[in-house]
Amino acid sequence: MIDRIKSVGAEVFSTVVALRRQIHSDPELAYEEVRTSALVAETLRRLPAVSVRTGVAKTGVVAEIEGDKPGPTIVLRADMDALPIHEENTFDFASRNPGKMHACGHDAHTSSLLGTAMILSELRAEIHGRIRLLFQPSEEKLPGGAKPMIEAGCLDGASAVFGQHVTPRLEAGTIGVRSGPYMASADELYFTVIGEGGHAAEPHSLRADAVVTASQLVTALQTIVSRKSPPGIPSILSIGRFIADGATNVIPATVRLEGTLRTMDESWRTRAHHLIREIAVQTARAHGAECEVEVRVGYPVLVNDHAETSWFRDVASAFVGEGNVVELDPWYASEDFAYYSQEIPGVFYRIGTGNAEAGIVHRVHTPRFTIDEDVLRLAPGLMAYLALRRTAKMSD
């Protein structure tokens, strides 16, 4: 089976690369993926025995491939949206949309899953049951597209879900995976510290200095991680924006702080939300100020199912070689694939796309990110292989 999959993968490789480049050159942000989803649907409709639904969760596309043998349903997922980043790459398929870029590899995810559809369509006689392919909008922007896809019934009747994500941190062709909690929850934190504005020469006359109060708050919030977080539960609380719009001789009346909380435990996450609000309000009060707090709840912890991950390691090793499958460290980025794996057993794995010799080393979410496109010989076939193996295993 592996040889046959790789043979078909080689036949469709140039098409997959062309699709990736077309998508890369025309990036669309969350819920704006109109041209991308049209291209996806058009490509899928050319394939035999593939049914296609469009307009799912606004701009999502869902395809199904029915096998010739009875069996279960499994789900394969790719995301389609780009980021609000101005691309600095100069290759001829660089973004032609100013301020928008596929800087996280969603162009590769989408084109790879289209390649998987091409392979599975060719090998549909080997499919037990049904393979459902999700082309999801809006992974990059809260509240994300995964929950609306689930609400639209995209997991109905399914027994397992799989997704992949490119990474330049691994050498091209290497597969990385981690069982259990893998990616962090991510919540956005917003604080408005309210004091009294006035002349910088007369701070003693003010009811409260919002700048000093906000500065103390940045430090106080760190005690949530250093003193309140249970040992063994990694957490990160970072303040990335501090807006005090005064002047050299003006103390502003309000200061705005923005940041993020990330952790690997849902129970602690909920408690941390309470502590964040409590510490912010009490710190401000101690300085005679007030503080308004908003905790914007983001994606949950992404947990890879233990049994499915163990099975995936064996399957990936068979396809790419045992030495090319590595254990990943926890990653404190977030992913709304987590919503899928809350509903049914899932595995979210990483496929290496780095190539230092070719200068392909820039990380995701940066203006010069790109991938070693030779990976598109491998990625579609691996996902096709795991789908065929998984449906066959589940129908035994």
Query: Across the chain, how many H-helices and E-strands are there?
Result: 9, 16
Q: CA–CA separation, 317 vs 381, rounded Å?
A: 13
Tell me the β-bridge partners of 128.
Answer: 69
Distance of CA 376 to the CA centre of its chain: 19
Half-sphere CA count of 328, side-chain side, radius 13 A: 27
Integer Cα distance of 146 and 148 in angstroms: 6
Give dist(CA 74, CA 24) in Å, integer: 28
Token look-up 């295993």 returns 393
Q: Is 335 a catalytic residue?
A: no
Catalytic hit among 182, 299, 340, 349? 299
64 phi and psi angles, rounded to 5 deg: -130, 140
The active-site residue out of 140, 308, 373, 385 is: 373
For every residue of 333-391, DSSP letters joined together read S--THHHHHHHS-EEEEEEEEEBGGGTB-PPTTSTT----GGGGGTHHHHHHHHHHHHH
All residues at 6 or more sequence positions from 74 whose CB lies less than 8 Å from its CB, including other chains? 129, 130, 131, 132, 158, 159, 160, 161, 162, 387, 390, 391, 394
CA distances, 173 to each of 117, 119, 169, 170, 179 (Å) = 20, 19, 11, 8, 20
**Residues 202, 158: Cα–Cα separation, whole Å:** 66
Active site annotation includes 299: yes
Q: Are 328 and 176 in contact (CB under 8 A)?
A: yes
Instruction: Give me the torsion for CA of 33, 36, 40, 45, rounded to 10°.
Output: 90
Active-site residue list: 299, 373
